[in-house]
């Protein structure tokens, strides 16, 4: 699965989402096109900050998230009602983080820590 936990601390909300989404869950797994988009954002658009990359990828995933299933999953996870829009954004954010972790594991990206020198 190539989930390292380096960006996404807890994948349980995503697992719950997949349970709630049923057949629609397949829209929210990583695809070759997602990895190509990471490469394009970095190489062609020059996105080099993690927060910017995550935001761009979150917007890519958002249309692929079922808001009602996200709400049910996060309501189960947190034990309190979460609005659909907020829940969908959280799931899309987890997917974006997972994609960055996987791309890093595949050697497509290198996450540089704030204290590391450029060069």
From CA 74, how far away is CA 14, in angstroms rounded?
A: 9
Domains of the chain, by residue range, sit at: 12-105
Confidence label for 53 from pLDDT (cuts 50, 70 and 90): very high
From CA 60, how far away is CA 74, in angstroms rounded?
A: 20
CB 54 within 8 A of CB 93: yes
* Closest residue by Cα to residue 58 from 20, 4, 96: 96
21-38: pLDDT as tens digits: 999 999 999 999 999 999
Confidence label for 17 from pLDDT (cuts 50, 70 and 90): very high
Note the pTM of the prediction, 2 decimals.
0.91
From CA 100, how far away is CA 32, in angstroms rounded?
A: 13
55-96: pLDDT as tens digits: 999 999 999 999 999 999 999 999 999 999 999 999 999 999
- 63 DSSP 8-state letter: G
CA torsion angle 84 87 93 94 (round to 10): -130
Would you report the helix, strand and coil content of the chain in percent, each value rounded to 5? 65, 0, 35
């Amino acid at each position: 699965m190539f989930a390292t936990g380096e960006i996404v601390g807890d994948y349980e909300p995503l697992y719950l989402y997949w349970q709630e989404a049923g057949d629609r869950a397949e829209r929210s797994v990583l695809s070759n096109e997602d990895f190509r988009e990471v490469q394009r954002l970095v190489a062609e658009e020059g996105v080099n900050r993690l927060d910017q990359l995550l935001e761009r990828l979150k917007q890519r995933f958002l249309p692929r998230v079922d808001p009602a299933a996200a709400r049910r999953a996060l309501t189960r996870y947190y034990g309190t009602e979460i609005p659909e829009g907020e829940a969908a954004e959280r799931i899309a954010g987890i997917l974006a983080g997972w994609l960055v972790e996987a791309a890093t594991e595949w050697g497509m990206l290198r996450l540089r820590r704030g204290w590391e020198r450029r060069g």
